[in-house]
Amino acid sequence: MNARSEVPISVATGDADRGRPAISVSALAKTYQVTDREAGMGASLRSVFRRRMKDVKAVQAVSFSIGAGEIVGFLGPNGAGKTTTLKMLSGLLHPTSGTASVLGHVPWQRNHAFLRRMTLVMGQRNRLSWDIPAADSFLLNQAIYRIPDAEFRQTHDELVELLDMKDILRKPVRNLSLGERMKCELAASLLHRPQVLFLDEPTIGLDITSQNRIREFVREYNRRTDATIILTSHYMADVTALCERIIIIHQGLLKYDGSISDLTRRIAPYKVIGIILNDGADSDLSGFGTVVPNPTDDGKRLIQVQAADVPGVTARILAHYSVQDLSIEDPPIEDVIERAFNE
């Protein structure tokens, strides 16, 4: 993405925030009480007089800290507790136990200074008024956050440029495509220049072009503002494009906190060798490693090999065959994350 604006977006960092994590979480937990009954008319009638409840532990004693300016992927299968955690950190939910600090504030106290410095964007929720143009919703946000006119115009113009949305601002939101609406949602959430962004599935349902545009925008916003970002996504391309660090949560428990490369070495310590032989030779390659299916149509035959054995296996292949192309890659991040979930 070309950053053509002369005046960059900036956010103010207070002296009290310097030198401490932007987000700090200690033993954070959330337990819901839900009705538990069997199906059927009889069970329905009995529940009228005697309702049976059970505890559902959505988040269990999760602890981590995130420094200013970090982009961290917050991953887990459906129902793992990701959105519940983000809702507690953004002040929408009170925890059952534990503590959290975001920019020095207790989120669920929801004081004005905290709300002025953070934003929560949920890809499955619409925050814009459906029947009016996005430009009018932007003006409403200006009034809510009491943004001075000059600051609003500067931020508005740069967000419009970065997201390439000049031609869609005057259309009613209901007439926008999903990708166009998501760009407007992002812009609306950033007009007050937040220092912490909680992004929950910001690219869900978007086509590849729109996904790339959103990723580029998030990366550029982080570069310009040094904002701290927690990103949840089921699209691993979002995570690999934006995050060096990931946190994995499963069944409410924190399972991993570290870099993607370290997780790959621990969970899947192998490489994938891709080979195209000259003259289309169809030789048996199973003696060099585990032959795995190729999900793409690039003509390569794939062999899974332990990382330590790659140099020797590669040398043997080149000695035995006339090779047109050979590549060595890490295992797909989707496979690594799935293994992490299962373990």
CATH at 332: 3.30.70
Least confident of 133-142, 153-162, 201-210: 201-210
Q: Does residue 291 sit in the same domain as residue 330?
A: yes
Q: Does residue 94 sit in the same domain as residue 182?
A: yes
For every residue of 221-252, DSSP letters joined together read HHHHH--EEEEE-S-HHHHHHH-SEEEEEETT
Band (pLDDT 50/70/90 cuts) for residue 5 is very low
Q: What is the pTM of this model?
A: 0.81
Per-range mean pLDDT, top range of 95-109, 126-140, 208-222: 95-109
Q: What integer best gives the mean pLDDT of the chain?
A: 87
* Backbone dihedral region for residue 146 (phi beyond 0: left; psi -120 to 50: alpha; all else: beta): left
C-alpha 162/C-alpha 210 separation (Å) is 13
Band (pLDDT 50/70/90 cuts) for residue 4 is very low
Read off the DSSP letter of residue 111: -
Per-range mean pLDDT, top range of 5-19, 96-110, 121-135: 96-110
Q: Does residue 272 sit in the same domain as residue 137?
A: no
Q: Which two tokens stand for residue 9?
A: 């977006």
Q: Does residue 134 sit in the same domain as residue 254?
A: yes
Residue written as tokens 């002040």? Answer: 91
- Give the per-residue pLDDT at 2: 43
Long-range contacts of 121-124 (CB under 8 A, 24+ apart): 121/185, 121/186, 121/189, 121/197, 121/198, 121/199, 121/200, 121/202, 122/83, 122/200, 122/201, 123/182, 123/200, 123/201, 123/202, 123/203, 123/204, 123/205, 124/200, 124/201, 124/204
Q: Which residue range(s) make up the domain with 290? A: 268-342
Q: Nearest to residue 48, comparing CAs of 59, 37, 60, 58?
A: 37
C-alpha 309/C-alpha 315 separation (Å) is 10
Residue 339 sits at φ, ψ, to 5 deg, of -65, -40
If one compares 50 and 251, the residue with the highest pLDDT of the two is 251
Helix (H, G, I), strand (E, B) or coil at 264: helix
Residue written as tokens 């269990």? Answer: 60
pLDDT tens digits for 277-326?
887 656 788 889 888 888 877 778 889 999 889 999 999 989 888 888 89
For every residue of 173-223, DSSP letters joined together read GGGS-HHHHHHHHHHHHHTT--SEEEEESTTTT--HHHHHHHHHHHHHHHH
Per-range mean pLDDT, top range of 101-110, 116-125, 164-173: 101-110
Q: Does residue 103 sit in the same domain as residue 141?
A: yes
Q: Does residue 123 sit in the same domain as residue 257?
A: yes
Q: Does residue 190 sit in the same domain as residue 227?
A: yes
C-alpha 203/C-alpha 133 separation (Å) is 21
From residue 180, alpha-carbon distances to 9, 27, 172, 342 in Å are 22, 39, 11, 36
Residue 36 lies in a domain: no
- Give the per-residue pLDDT at 282: 65
- Give the per-residue pLDDT at 68: 94
Residue 268 sits at φ, ψ, to 5 deg, of -135, 75
If one compares 215 and 34, the residue with the highest pLDDT of the two is 215
Residue 35 lies in a domain: no
Q: Does residue 272 sit in the same domain as residue 336?
A: yes
SS3 of 10-43: CCCCCHHHCCCCCEEEEEEEEEEEEECCCCCHHH
For the chain, the C-alpha Rg in angstroms (whole number) is 24
Q: Does residue 322 sit in the same domain as residue 218?
A: no
- Give the per-residue pLDDT at 259: 93
Q: How many domains does the chain have?
A: 2
Q: Which two tokens stand for residue 156?
A: 């508005």
pLDDT tens digits for 185-231?
999 999 999 999 999 998 888 888 888 888 999 999 999 899 999 99
Residue 252 lies in a domain: yes
Residue 299 lies in a domain: yes
C-alpha 248/C-alpha 260 separation (Å) is 11
Which CATH number characterizes residue 221's domain?
Answer: 3.40.50.300
Band (pLDDT 50/70/90 cuts) for residue 16 is very low
Q: Is the pLDDT of residue 10 over 60?
A: no
Average pLDDT on 152-168 reads 90
Q: Is the pLDDT of residue 328 over 60?
A: yes
Band (pLDDT 50/70/90 cuts) for residue 83 is very high
